[in-house]
Copies of this chain bind each other. A is one copy, B any other.
Amino acid sequence: MENILWQHIQHLKNSVPLIHNITNYVVMNNTANALLAAGASPIMAHAQSEIEDMVTICQALVVNIGTLDEYWSMSMINAAKKANELGKPWILDPVGAGATSYRNEIIAKLLELKPTIIRANASEIMALAKVSNLPTKGVDSTAKSNEAIEAAKLLTKEFASVVCISGETDIILGKDQKLSLKNGNALMAKVTGLGCSASAITAAFAAIIEDKFEATSAAMALMGVCGEIAAKNSAGPGSLQLNLLDKLYNITENEFITHLKIGE
């Protein structure tokens, strides 16, 4: 598995896929930089007058609802529809799922469009299952990844999506597949938007790898390993943000293979 994931990472750097991001204001700069560092080419665009045209020229789409509003939500929905029409992969990052009824309403509409991949933390995954009226237990804002597995499985079944629950352990669930990754560092939670970067990099791999379970696994492995190495050399979250971008750019096969921790 390690070798397959590393090959995917190399493949990304050689492919430079164009990734269309409809994402939140907080993370746009870091998301663009993370995509560039990992080897993809980012586009950020949201105007209703060009959203379908942008989906058409890109190879994958990220829909991240962090700072959604009425206008942007319509763009997200139209973009996801266009991606489906063209058979292009699109990734849903349901930031703040469960926080407000408006957010849940938009999430419900996006889920109906069957995201290729969903990446979120445990609480958000549990909120998604609830929004979709799937028979799951309630949302727990302090939930750990393994507490959300039941909800993630329901989502995988209902929407045919690959689901990634990110956290101290990242759990990736496909139709009949499951992978746990145990990389990362607690300091990563002190930098805003690393989850958003992970979603964007997931889109980059999904753009070039047919198997979306493997694409998601490669993205989460790359982010986890680079974040872990970067954190070791960081005095705080400011340094970590910089070191992570550097490491996404210059990680070697040896670093990747020796640090990767695949769980049960």
Given A43-B96, A70-B48, A237-B33 contact (CB < 8 Å): yes
| Interface locus among A158-166, A190-198, A207-215 | A190-198
Given A69-B48, A245-B238, A29-B32 contact (CB < 8 Å): no
A100 contacts the other chain (CB 8 A): yes
Expressed in whole angstroms, the Cα–Cα distance for A248 and B190 within the complex equals 11
Interface string of A125-167 (1 = CB under 8 A from B): 0000000000000000000000000000000000000000000
Expressed in whole angstroms, the Cα–Cα distance for A193 and B238 within the complex equals 15
- For chain A, give the interface size range: 35 or more
| Interface locus among A3-11, A20-28, A107-115 | A20-28
Q: List 27 A-B contacts (CB under 8 A).
A: A25-B25, A25-B28, A26-B29, A29-B29, A29-B192, A29-B193, A36-B189, A37-B236, A37-B238, A43-B96, A43-B99, A45-B100, A48-B69, A49-B70, A49-B102, A50-B99, A50-B103, A53-B100, A53-B101, A54-B99, A57-B99, A69-B71, A236-B245, A236-B249, A237-B246, A238-B249, A242-B242
Chain A residues near B (Cβ < 8 Å): 24-30, 32-33, 36-37, 42-50, 53-54, 57, 66-71, 96, 99-103, 189-193, 234-239, 241-250
